[in-house]
Structure 1
Amino acid sequence: MNYLDIQIATENSDYPSEQQFQRWVDTVLADPGPDSEIVIRLVDEMEMAELNQQYRHKPGPTNILSFPFEAPAGIALDLLGDLVICVPLITQEARQQHKLPEHHWAHITIHGILHLLGYDHIEETEAEEMEALEIKFLNVLNIANPYQEASTQ
């Protein structure tokens, strides 16, 4: 069983339900393995900008930050790590990219979980591997490939 702790640190209520987050977490962590715990903190732009500056030395908010948990030697915990997601920014991005908000939330959450699992997108080959996994998990959820241009109708 994958455990999810959602921390709401925003007055904005435009975010998915705990059940939706749980479904996305379970989709990525479906392989039999040890139980995992993930903390998802939903924040506004100000907190996200502070965290982005503190941990990435970049100004302004970003859509998601991932903080993998590293247990001290000799300590075994099931905590995979923390995701911090900027609620207003995800809503704005979905609108700008003409995506259903739920689909964009699923994509960003899956992206963050993959970071917690050690995937990255700094090098092109790593990016291709990570994108392929995102597409695979989104497909399981019946969500279109977010990296394809939407066809005009």
Structure 2
Amino acid sequence: MKPALSLSLQFADKRHREHLPRHKVTRWIRAALESDAEIAVRLVDAEEGQSLNRDYRQKDYATNVLTFDYATEPVVMADLIICAPVIEREAQEQGKPLQAHYAHMLVHGALHAQGWDHEDPEEADAMEAREREILAQLGFDDPYAA
């Protein structure tokens, strides 16, 4: 049985709203969950993305996804901040469909919310392998293939 997901989907930046229908976002995140979750996804512009990354990670640039994880048990509770302009640029640079890159970043963020990390090479390899597995199940190509 798939984990339950309570999803709040917020569009501060509406430019890609058509690429993120609620049913698809729910499907992508649920595929990465190992337990029930309450997750808010907020699509932001570059200014808000940079401000949050600077304030919370001391990195003064907008990044693709920020995960604010509040609890992992008994229910995963997290906010995923997705920076629309960064996702768009990366998808273009990597030659990927925009929706595939959004799916990847939502899976990536959901894994972070559950304690997955990529700070050292061994953790990174394990997390990337899990992302590949989930995205393949969802019908997406390997996000790390060159």
TM-score, normalized by length of structure 2? 0.90
Which residue of structure 2 lines up, in the alignment, with residue 92 of structure 1? Answer: 89
Which residue of structure 1 lines up, in the alignment, with residue 111 of structure 2? Answer: 114
* Deviation of the 1:79 alpha carbon: 4.8
- Asked whether 1:49 is paired with 2:50, we answer yes
- Asked whether 1:3 is paired with 2:6, we answer yes
Counterpart secondary structure, 2:7: strand
- Asked whether 1:23 is paired with 2:27, we answer yes
Percent of aligned positions that are identical: 37
Question: Counterpart amino acid of 2:57?
Answer: R
**For the residues of structure 1 that align with 2:14 and 2:102, how far apart are their CA atoms?**
18
Structure with more of its chain in helix, by fraction: 2
C-alpha contact (below 8 Å) 2:62/2:83 kept by paired residues: yes
C-alpha contact (below 8 Å) 2:88/2:98 kept by paired residues: yes
**For the residues of structure 2 that align with 1:148 and 1:68, how far apart are their CA atoms?**
28
Which one has a bigger Cα radius of gyration? 1
* Deviation of the 1:146 alpha carbon: 1.3
Deviation digits for residues 81-112 of structure 1 (CA, Å, limit 9, x no counterpart): 11000011111111111001111111111000
**For the residues of structure 2 that align with 1:40 and 1:69, how far apart are their CA atoms?**
14
Deviation digits for residues 24-53 of structure 1 (CA, Å, limit 9, x no counterpart): 011112x5x4x3111101100000100010
The alignment's C-alpha RMSD in Å is: 1.7
* Deviation of the 1:11 alpha carbon: 4.0
Extract unaligned runs of 5+ from structure 2. none
Counterpart secondary structure, 2:77: strand
Which residue of structure 1 lines up, in the alignment, with residue 15 of structure 2? Answer: 12
User: For this pair of structures, how many residues does the alignment match?
Assistant: 142
* Deviation of the 1:70 alpha carbon: 3.6
TM alignment of 1:108-147, pairs within 5 A? 108-147=105-144
